[in-house]
Amino acid sequence: MQTTESATNQTGYKALTQKQVARFWEDGYLIVGKVLNDDLIERMRREYDAEFALARSGERPVRNLAVDDDAHDHDEGERQEMLQFMQISEHNLHFHKLTYHERILDIIEDLLGPNIQLFHNQALYKPPHHGGPIFWHQDNAYWQCLPANLVSCWLTLDDVDLRNGAMQFIPGSHLRPMIHDQAQGSDVLLDMGKQVDDSQTVVADLPAGGITLHHCQTLHRTAPNTTDRQRRAYAIHFMTPGTKSMRTAETIAVSFSHPMLRMRV
């Protein structure tokens, strides 16, 4: 039976083990595995495909991160696509509901506590054969949030491995925020590759319906999708209320775009 009030386990955590929580804070990421059931995966795939079909006909605000910026045009031969659909939850009720998914919020509560606010969410699509890369980066170099304790849940609707764009992380990199030249005040994705020692890279293979979590300072990237499989991902970025954006020098107020997803009153 589903209840709104989830039980707390013996360690005081709701969904993760003590070891998993310690691991997240030590490594800056955690590979959790499958959290969505097969029916929900199927439903979300249909919704995802319908939304991207609307995007292709210009009815949805989608950006191609692989070619948006002249200086970073990674187009080689066939045009690469790394499609970003920001705040898909504001366009589609099923993604709205997924943002409030009970088990995912239980997991986030174990890391951030019971008061959880949405920073933003996004669908990130790499089509078969020509899905573009996302280069090494730390999210908070772009977001400029304080305190820097945001947590992202990256969810895949397809089985993922290195070749179709699974998440890759560098353990412990969240403890060393890097300056991303030009990143401040810009949305352009930079290639931090030359400044990154990626000898310890971990590739997070996942089954469809699976999630990884990462801290907002963890170095991560995804490879191009060179397979004949899709890579349909959805990322939810969570924060605690009171988080300040250094871009605007203001606290991010609770609003339609930044609702409280869970709180203890």
Ligand X SMILES: O=C(O)CCC(=O)C(=O)O
Determine the Cα–Cα distance for residues 102 and 89; give it in Å rounded to an integer.
16
Nearer to ligand X, 65 or 116 (CB): 65
* Residue 47: CB minimum distance to ligand X, A: 17
**Checking DSSP bridges between strand 210-215 and strand 83-86, what pairing results, if any?**
unpaired
Residue linked to tokens 């898909």? 88
Task: Tell me which residue of 124, 152, 126, 128 sits closest to 139, measured CA to CA.
Answer: 152
Q: How far is the CB of 265 from ligand X (least distance, A)?
A: 30
Q: Which is nearer to ligand X, 14 or 243 (CB)?
A: 243
* Chain residues in the site for ligand X (CB under 6 A): 124, 134, 139, 152, 154, 165, 220, 222, 233, 235
Q: Which residue, 14 or 170, is less far from ligand X as judged by CB?
A: 170
Rounded CA separation 113/147 (Å): 14
Q: Which is nearer to ligand X, 14 or 117 (CB)?
A: 117
Please name the residues in contact with 175: beta carbons below 8 A apart, sequence gap of 6 or more: 28, 217
Residue 235 or 239 with smaller CB distance to ligand X: 235
Q: Smallest gap, in angstroms, from Cβ of residue 82 to ligand X?
A: 7
- What is the closest distance, in whole angstroms, from the C-beta atom of residue 134 to ligand X in the complex? 4
Residue 222 vs 227, nearer CB to ligand X:
222
Closest contact distance (angstroms) between CB of 214 and ligand X is 7
Report residue 141: phi and psi, to 5°.
-65, -30
Beta bridge partners, 153, equal 213, 236
Cβ 140 to ligand X, closest distance in Å?
Answer: 10
Angle between helices 18-27 and 102-112 (to 10 degrees): 70
CA distance 106 to 44: 20
